[in-house]
Structure 1
Amino acid sequence: MSVKIRIPTPLQSATEQQAEVQAEGATVGDLLSDLESRFPPLKARLRDDSGKLRRFINIYLNDEDIRFLENEATPVKESDEVSI
């Protein structure tokens, strides 16, 4: 399913200046993987060398921090909105 992802201004250089993109996946992690495959420079900005999200990167699902949900395993539905 396709979910809207909002990209903050500092990361838009890695998404061809797009402030919003659509990504496919059933979980937040799937969405991020889809984004990283379509916009390879984004991966280095979001993840450290071990592949974990950088500590200063916050991901929100409908304004709720995913750290208080199921992190990257948090399921998404088409009406959801993800913000980085």
Structure 2
Amino acid sequence: MALKILSTKNGTFAVEGEINAATASQFKSHFETNLNTLNVLTVDIDKITEVDATGMRALRSLYKKAFLENKSFSIVGNGCKDIYDDFRASNIA
């Protein structure tokens, strides 16, 4: 399934599809660009169906970039439980 990223409002982006080896580069690039211009960035994962190891590396990389640049990066929604489990188990910074 293709990855769709839709801008909603106030730095919130709805992501739909899979974040995997085929889509992680596009995902990371899109959000790195937005982190350069926004101080607050929220990713809504309600419609994420899969996240593989490459996708998790992309998410962790974005989180770390935001942390190091003192910007707010949030993941919200009832999407893939694996994302929440990984962030809870990891020490990103």
Q: Same fold (TM over 0.5)?
A: no
Larger % of helix: which? 2
Which TM-score bucket, shorter chain as reference?
0.3 to 0.5
Instruction: Answer 1 or 2: which has greater strand percent.
Output: 2
Which structure has more relative contact order (CA 8 Å, sep 6+)? It is 1
Q: What TM-score do you get using the length of structure 1 for normalisation?
A: 0.34
